[in-house]
Amino acid sequence: MDRSFFDAGELVGVLTTQPLGRVLDYKAPEGGCFAGAFVEVPLGPRRIVGVVWGPGAGDYDYDKVRSVARVLDVAPMRDEMRSFLARAADYTLTPLDAMLRLATRAPGLGDAPGVRRVYRLGSVVPDRMTDARAAVLAVMHEYGGLAFTLQELAAMAGVGTSVVKGMVKLGAVSEKDAPRDTPYPRLDPDHGGKDLTPDQAAGAAVLSAAVASGAYGTTLLKGVTGSGKTEVYLEAVAACLRKGRQALVLLPEIALTGEFLDRVEARFGQRPAEWHSGVTQTERRRCWRMVGQGDAGLVVGARSALFLPFRDLGLIVVDEEHDTSYKQEDGVLYNARDMAVLRAAGCSAQVVLASATPSLESWANVEAGKYARLTLTSRFGPAVMPRMAAIDMRSEDLPGGRWVSPTLRRAMQDRLDKGEQSLVFLNRRGYAPVTLCRACGHQIGCDDCDARMVEHRFLKRLMCHQCGATKPMPTVCPHCKVEGKLSAVGPGVERMGEEVQALFPDARVAVLSSDLYGSARAMKAHIAEIAAGGTDIIIGTQLVAKGHNFPKLTLVGVIDADLGLQGSDLRAAERTFQLMRQVAGRAGRAEAPGEALLQTFQPDHAVIRSIVAGDEEAFWSAEAAERRAAGVPPYGRMAGIVLSATDVQAVFDLGTAMARADGPLRRIGAQVYGPAPAPIARIRGRHRVRLLVKADKAAPLQAALAEWVAQFRLRGDLRMAIDIDPQSFY
Ligand code: ADP
Ligand code: ZN
């Protein structure tokens, strides 16, 4: 990346999005091209998009090398972005072409800027006003200065396009060509700041000064839900905008609701650019281009927004930084929190990691002095953290097939009497996790996975939560063919809904689970209705743990606080601690104080005790000590290798061969464990085998892994996925 311009005919190396495993040589086109230019190059009979990565290697006959077909009309990829992609590829052991695919996920990149015909309010009032014309004018007045396409305007007014065209002739509607991708409106950093509490103001001042310094730095912004973390980091965004640089706020996908966009609008007078799965293709393209030319000051997005071509990125906020959805589990396996730090370090930007319950990784980085830490200690306004207590299920009198203990029931009755809301939390979708035949003991499993099928009574089907396969609920046992003996075992949220409704027949009960809605809009509408008080008792999965405000909620009952502790996952304790605190944090946000009750069979378990005591520092220190002793992340390094194939013997053979050929790993002092069947040994008909590599924190793990796996060829349908710092162990 030392050369910046290549004259026509000079050899350039072009990285394409094709999985070729290398950069290809081409001749620079007429007029030359810059390093980083987005180009179209011929490959066989096709033309594909690529980026000029640097000088060509020159190891082919010059005369046979083809020319770049054309340079695309978009801002060239900056050096900083090219080195970010290269470093991210090295870190995650991902081919560069796959990284480039992440960085070019916008449609029609190669298309000319393009124009479309738009319609606005004209200057003439028609002499003869018909109902149809009045409807068109009404729509245009309602949406102020907005431009419409012909189809949009006609559809919204409920008239034919000929009506609109007639009005164009009269001058009542103006018709004009306008560019397709328009800049986002400028956000005003001085529009609507709130009066901050002294605590918040101090935090905002520190972050703003850091952003103003123009240097790299990472700060952990910690504070209970409702303490004003969002208010504080929006001040850092304001500081970034004042400096003329761009800001990016990452939210967990599920939290990307209108609520946050409304807050941005209230603070800055305009809405930001959006980048997530719910955005239209047209808007994606606009966002990608405007970010590249500096015409989007703030982007609010999901993890892949990190790969947008920012012109001058000065701040990245990772909200709810501990959220597991930041880890991409498909395709390129990366953790957006870590990649945010990598990206910011390369462009002198600040990172703010915000959370009420930070990950142990971030906590350890603060301890090690790599990250700064800011703590907001109290909730904004009168609310306080809820009172927490454990319900010892060993001494509760509860018949089989029932899960609400008498103690929890009394607390719920009390809220009903006072007209307050309760939340019953169970992190299990569906009606029952297991369907058992009482005649033969058979449990109904998925045909393609080693997983039991979960009954979803609402959908009247069984569903595999691994692969999503469904089948109708059988009446006859598929194993012994006996009829009428199948029964639901264990609770899911739908079943809790039934139990709670039976306990409180007059209460308004709502079950909140992501799979019960046809659309994100329907879910949002339902949540808004619940928050407004339209429900007495909410039954919910972890969907309710995030983001939403329920002002009337004063009691949280956790049905099974032990649930998360059962896994073999090294982060099981951490996850349980975070989830329980987040759920408990839903209670008592407004004036009424809250209470959280945790049903548990192990009230003396260290994790349960620290949750109840609310002693975070004690929890983190104890957890850190255990991980340090075990040499696992964040105090050691790990990589998971999952091999899969339809032939079980082939997977095990490869796994065994890999474990034997561990020379490159042994040289850096790393150990290989396995091969062992993965916790879910079969998914979608593919057998899965897992190897785990453990190394010291300082060991050059990626290089050794690359050398190790390069010794093997993947034959047939064998596949290998390498996961650096694995988060899930399935
Ligand atoms: P967090 O991000 O820590 O959960 P928020 O920033 O969302 O906290 O704040 C919680 C609620 O309190 C929000 O409705 C927010 O607008 C309000 N709030 C926080 N700080 C202030 C303040 N200084 N002035 C007015 N409202 C505030
Ligand atoms: Zn399945």
Give me the pLDDT at residue 112, please: 65
Q: Which atom of ligand 1 is nearest to the CA of 356?
A: 3
Q: Domain total for the chain?
A: 5
Same domain (yes/no): 372, 393:
no
Name residues of the chain where pLDDT drops below 50: 1
Give me the pLDDT at residue 618, please: 82
d(CA 670, CA 638): 9
Give me the pLDDT at residue 324, please: 82
Give me the pLDDT at residue 382, please: 54
Range of the domain at 130: 116-179
Residue 198: partners with Cβ closer than 8 Å, 6 or more residues away: none
Task: For residue 342, give Cα distances in angstroms to 216, 350, 539, 545.
Answer: 10, 11, 40, 29
Same domain (yes/no): 609, 648:
no
322: Cβ below 6 Å to ligand 1?
no
Report if residue 476 sits inside a domain: no
Report if residue 162 sits inside a domain: yes
Q: What is the CATH number of the domain that holds 277?
A: 3.40.50.300
Report if residue 485 sits inside a domain: no
Give me the pLDDT at residue 4, please: 86
Q: Whose CA is nearest to atom 9 of ligand 1?
A: 228
Mutation test residue for ligand 1: of 230, 264, 355, the one with most atoms within 8 Å of CB:
230
Ligand 2 center from residue 450 Cα (angstroms): 7
Mutation test residue for ligand 1: of 231, 234, 260, 319, the one with most atoms within 8 Å of CB:
231
Same domain (yes/no): 61, 162:
no
Ligand 1 center from residue 183 Cα (angstroms): 30
Ligand 1 center from residue 195 Cα (angstroms): 11
190-202 per-position pLDDT tens digit: 998 889 999 999 9
Task: For residue 493, give Cα distances in angstroms to 198, 227, 689.
Answer: 42, 30, 32
Q: Sign of the C-alpha dihedral, residues 344, 257, 265, 529?
A: negative
Q: Which atom of ligand 1 is nearest to the CA of 195?
A: 23
Same domain (yes/no): 92, 159:
no
Ligand 2 center from residue 354 Cα (angstroms): 36
Same domain (yes/no): 393, 303:
no
Same domain (yes/no): 609, 644:
no
640-659 per-position pLDDT tens digit: 999 999 998 999 999 999 99
CB 90 within 8 A of CB 702: yes
Give me the pLDDT at residue 1, please: 45
Give me the pLDDT at residue 194, please: 86
Give me the pLDDT at residue 587, please: 72
Q: What is the CATH number of the domain that holds 171?
A: 1.10.10.10
Give me the pLDDT at residue 567, please: 61
Q: Whose CA is nearest to atom 5 of ligand 1?
A: 228
Report if residue 502 sits inside a domain: yes
Give me the pLDDT at residue 547, please: 58
513: Cβ below 6 Å to ligand 1?
no
Residue 36: partners with Cβ closer than 8 Å, 6 or more residues away: 51, 52, 76, 77, 78, 79, 81, 82
Q: What is the CATH number of the domain that holds 686?
A: 3.30.70.600
Report if residue 456 sits inside a domain: no
Task: Give the number of other CB atoms < 10 A from CB of residue 288.
Answer: 24
Give me the pLDDT at residue 380, please: 62
Same domain (yes/no): 278, 336:
yes
200: Cβ below 6 Å to ligand 1?
yes
Report if residue 111 sits inside a domain: no
Task: Give the number of other CB atoms < 10 A from CB of residue 58.
Answer: 10
d(CA 342, CA 334): 12
Same domain (yes/no): 525, 556:
yes
